[in-house]
Structure 1
């Protein structure tokens, strides 16, 4: 019942954690209205075929004006889950401007852009139980090899989350972030299947494994729902103890 009659916008919904969020909402909760946003139309069409009740939106989040235009068309939503993200991994000495811009465009600028549009509409329509959840990473707090730009973007996202919480809280809009470690989505399995790569990271996780997508979804939906009604401006790691 916690999401009954709620309109929930999920970005980066075509695959990975975003897709897992949409699937959970569509299969476990009744009368929830899910809006799935992604850059890749084929992924959205596959999702729509499986869950005909969802609304799909195709947009390139690096295009500021197109994103504002498409999100504005959606009208009021109760919950925004800023899940879209990108990682371009390069050694520090090889970082180039295009890669830097691409990562920050999606991981930081797009969150600000979409959240501005959505929050203004939430305020205008006096949405009750409004919540925004940003999907960050433990990389916001821990240095990872070849992840300089990604780490910086997620640290920036956590800072944006705190500022959003400070300014949107008086409008009864809760804002929090989730910080997963490596998540064993299909992409995660491909990227971290090599023991020589995963071993050093796993050795720092007391629970001895990476996160499952559903474990991250559990925390995201907790922060999005009424059971966290007094949780505001925080970052919750889903990392098996990596950060300790």
Structure 2
């Protein structure tokens, strides 16, 4: 139990990209702490599996089948939810390409998912939080170490995660007076479905351990998404 010192009973936590990887791990950890999980994913089978995992820790799940890149669908689905106390704004992906080979289609996809969808979900949730003034709010925008340092072949991902960092700073300043905290979590490489294939490549492992700015990678356990702390 990773959040055993935190009591989130009677709190409602929306997690986007909840079906896999960090989103799944965050959902289970928050459920262990007592929160009701509003799990949003575009894959029904992933939602069903997550619900079973959360039941094992005696948690409750509200499942939302939705693509966060579809604004109207997301807005419609979230309008049915009365209370959201916590947002883990996690949905995102990476499509590594050399800078000169980046295609417009892949760039637009990453910007739409990693940045625009995150903005839209946060905006929809904040509007709901402002209506429930007696309840405090917490928003965690999932960033990355690559929102702080550059990385070869991940230029668009860098751009979107630096954008998330800037968005979070602006939101934090503006929303503090409404008792809404806004922070990022910036994980390093974690063995989630999005990146696990990279760990099969010895050249990749050696590269990240050799980067001058990546000394913090050494002795890091890459295999436990649950160790990412909220």
Structure 2 counterpart of 1:130: 137
Cα gap change, 1:49 to 1:210, in 2 (>3 Å): closer
Q: Give the Cα separation in 1 of the matches to 2:24 and 2:225.
A: 10
In structure 2, the CA distance between the partners of 1:146 and 1:127, relative to structure 1 (3 Å rule), is farther
- Give secondary structure in 2 for the equivalent of 1:205: helix
Using the TM superposition, name which of 119-128 and 199-208 deviates more: 199-208
User: Is residue 78–residue 130 contact of structure 1 (8 Å, CA) maintained in 2?
Assistant: yes
Contact 1:14 1:47 in 2 (8 A): yes
SS across alignment from 1:76: coil
> What's the TM-score, normalizing by structure 1?
0.83
From 60, 68, 74, give the equivalent of 1:67.
74
Cα 1:144–1:101 change in 2 (3 A) is same
Distance in 1, matches of 2:17 and 2:30, equals 15
Tell me what 1:213 maps to: 225
Deviates more, 1:43-52 or 1:103-112: 43-52
| Structure 2 residues not aligned, in runs of 5+ | 1-5
Contact 2:42–2:65 (Cα < 8 Å) also in 1:
yes
Q: Of the candidates 34, 42, 50, which is equivalent to residue 39 of structure 1?
A: 42
- Alignment partner of 2:20 out of 15, 21, 28: 15
What is the root-mean-square deviation of aligned Cα atoms in Å? Answer: 1.6
Tell me the TM-score normalised to structure 2 length.
Answer: 0.88
C-alpha displacement of 1:210: 4.8
Given the alignment, which residue of 56, 79, 89 partners 2:96? Answer: 89
1:35–1:55 contact (8 Å) kept in structure 2 = yes
Return the alpha-carbon distance in structure 2 between the equivalents of residues 49 and 33 of structure 1.
14
- The alignment status of 1:158 with 2:169, answered yes or no, reads no
1:194 equivalent in structure 2: 201
Structure 1: give runs of 5+ residues left out of the alignment.
221-244
Question: What is residue 56 of structure 1 aligned with on the other side?
Answer: 63
Provide runs of 4+ in structure 1 moved above 4 Å.
Answer: none
Distance 1:188 1:127 in 2: 40
Find the residue that maps to 1:2 and give its secondary structure: coil
Instruction: Give the paired residue count.
Output: 216
In structure 2, how many angstroms separate the alpha carbons of the residues matched to 1:110 and 1:75? 21
1:108-187 matched pairs, under 5 angstroms: 108-187=115-194
